[in-house]
Amino acid sequence: MTLTFTHDIVHIARKKGVGVGAFNVIQIEHATAIVTGAEAVGLPVILQISENTAKYHGSLEPIGMAALAVARAAEVPVAVHLDHAESVQLVRHAAELGFTSVMFDGAKLPYEENVATTRDVTAYCHARDVLVEAELGEIGGKNGAHAPGVRTDPDEAREFVAATGVDFLAVAVGSSHAMLTRDAVLDVDLISVLREAVSVPLVLHGSSGVDDVGLVRAARAGMTKINVSTHLNKAFTRVIRECLAENPQVADPRTYVGPARDAVAAEVARLLRVFGGAELH
HSE toward the beta carbon, residue 72, CA cutoff 13 A:
8
Q: What is the mean pLDDT of residues 200-219?
A: 80
CA 99 to chain centre: 14
Query: What confidence tier does 184 reach under pLDDT thresholds 50, 70, 90?
Result: low
Most confident range, picked from 16-25, 104-113, 131-140: 16-25
C-alpha angle 45/43/37, rounded to 5°?
70
User: Is the pLDDT score of 110 beyond 60?
Assistant: yes
Burial of residue 144 (CB within 10 Å: 0-12, 13-18, 19+) is exposed
Task: Report pLDDT digits (tens) over 43-100.
Answer: 999 999 999 999 999 999 999 999 999 999 999 999 999 999 999 999 999 999 999 9
Taking the whole predicted model, whether its pTM rises above 0.85 is answered as: yes
Residue 153 pLDDT: 84
Phi, psi for residue 146 in degrees, rounded to 5? -105, 10
Which helix (H) or strand (E) segment is 190 a member of?
helix 188-197
In the chain, % of residues over pLDDT 70: 88
**How confident is the model at residue 190, as a pLDDT?**
87
For the chain, list the domains and their CATH numbers: 6-275 (3.20.20.70)
Q: Residue 251 pLDDT > 60, yes or no?
A: yes
**SS3 of 86, please?**
coil
pLDDT for residue 143 is more than 70: no
Measured distance CA(9)–CA(201) in Å, rounded: 11
Q: Is the pLDDT of residue 233 over 80?
A: yes
Q: What's the rounded Cα separation, in Å, for the pair 269 and 10?
A: 18
pLDDT band at residue 145 under the 50/70/90 scheme: very low
**Predicted pLDDT of residue 147:** 45
Residues involved in catalysis: 83
